[in-house]
Structure 1
Amino acid sequence: MDLQFTRHRRLRQNPAIRNLIREHHLHVHDLIYPLFVIHGHNVRNEISSMPGVFQLSLDQLEQEIKEIVMLGIQGVILFGIPEDKDEIGSGAYHDHGIVQEATRLIKQIAPKLLVIADTCLCEFTDHGHCGVIHEGKVLNDPSLDLLARTAISQARAGADMIAPSNMMDGFVAAIRKGLDEAGFEDVPIMSYAVKYASSFYGPFRDAAHSAPQFWDRKTYQMDPANGREALREAYSDVVEGADILMVKPALAYMDIIYQVKQQFNLPLAAYNVSGEYAMIKAAAQNGWVDEKKIVIEMLTGMKRAGADIIITYFAKDVAKWLKEE
């Protein structure tokens, strides 16, 4: 047979060759596990739309943290569910708020575990929005002071990193200035730089009790149809002092992860969000997909797109699977 063609399959002949030339590898150190902490005692509420994920009271944290550490996961991101809410989200920046108390406790249990504090007001406001509301609008600039106060309170409690998710204009600048002036100049900011007004957040809002009570968040979160806007948002956060950028969600925004990574020389996180998690869990429970294979493929795809860090509710499962391999 007189044909000229390239034999790509030569490098696919067996597992050893495939392992040698594999371009992207998923590692347990890539993963951050989200935790939902709540007031009360002996509370371990499984979230119905997120099987295997729980709201945990502080007295339930020790067992969870020890498992996370044992699996080799190096970081958690904290979301708090307060006992009381008000119009300005004062529980977010109270020195004895739920996130602050959980941070102190985790640092006692596992001092070397990286504790990242989600910095937003939505879980703590009675209206469910990420800023101050006045005369039918979510106000930008008055919200910045409250966000900076929240970040300072979280850092004072021992948070290793601040992760502001509110999407107010100037939030990185305000938080960086507040942290520096409070003596926390070494605390990095992982900015939710590119956060879309996505339909993939539904299960999270069940978990965090953070659904807006009226309107939606489209005046401050991004339109899912926009790509160039993502680069403008990321650029602003780079200029304002972000240390790590984030794209959220991840699965439907691989192109955005790629573009942000190509454009900016900062570490990049991708948030594998609750809706992405719930879809796979539901399909796996029905026997429609192989959960392990599809999760590894999905997260490896995020790495291939450019993510250095992946925040995922699958973190504990993935860590177990990687240990088995």
Structure 2
Amino acid sequence: MDKTDKIIVGISIGDLNGIGVEVILKTFEDKRMLDFCTPVLFGATKAISYHKKALNLETPVHGITAINQINHNKINVLNIWKEEVKIELGKATKESGNFAFKSLEASVEHLKENKIDVLVTAPINKENIQSEFFKTPGHTEYLEEKLEGNSLMILMTDELRIGLITGHIPIAKVAETITPDLIKSKVDTMYNSLKQDFGINKPKIAVLSLNPHCGDNGIIGKEDDDIIKPTLTEIADSGKLVFGPYAADGFFGSETYKQFDGVLATYHDQGLAPFKALSFGKGVNFTAGLSHVRTSPDHGTGYDIAGKNQANSSSFKEALFTAIQVYKSRKDYKELTQNPLKVR
């Protein structure tokens, strides 16, 4: 592969007091990773060097001050700040949140301008990153504000893809938020993503129920009968292979999820609790439905093990490979559908 043809992977380095930099450095300890992509870390070489010394890691990095200076044979660090940063491994501080935002903001701007091909984000702390510039509950909502499209958080492995109809909202607001239009929107986003991002020609999607036992005919809630079931019937009548609602407990306990290309949970923990029980440390968070590709590992800042050289880089590495694969699949899909064969 010509080095200039390699996919440029932008990486926001996340909370500097967490394990983000550690899993990034460990991912690229193997020099063969540079055969797959050209990494660009958005941060500062001094901050990266601090982590290398604290963790006794020797992964070499190459400092640059502009994106056009990237070296396709090295791990590039785009210096976007010059200030000294007080790094306190394992602590949630306002300073580490501020610099996590600086990294994210710069990386997203470069993504929008197509100066990088894909974005992989290291974990942030959703509380200390809050400011006048970041007022969303997390990465997904921020990216939807900045990029074109309707976002859908999908947690995925090779065997399981779980999307969320509602994301980072209080449980008390879930029922009132789930409407026919929202269900249709999220099904469409997952359906289109499975086709263009994963090459599945006729995706099969399951939708989970909101209430226990699908509401037991209205005894434990009417939302499944009154909202979810008729909406899924309408979607299925349009030709999409959409099924449900399924009671979440039996759905995962019986491994029914293996019969579907994608699953839509009605709320955050309904989807993420079983996903992480089945796949923690191997999963990837993919933001479907946006104009550009973004992934992240399935774990958080890991303050409890920060600086101890105990973090596992498997999920970050999977996030990197997933971003590359989705980028390629999306490119292939675009080429295939731009000039379809005409039926005479």
Q: Shared fold (TM-score greater than 0.5)? A: no
TM-score scaled by structure 2? Answer: 0.29
TM-score between the two structures when normalised by the length of structure 1: 0.30
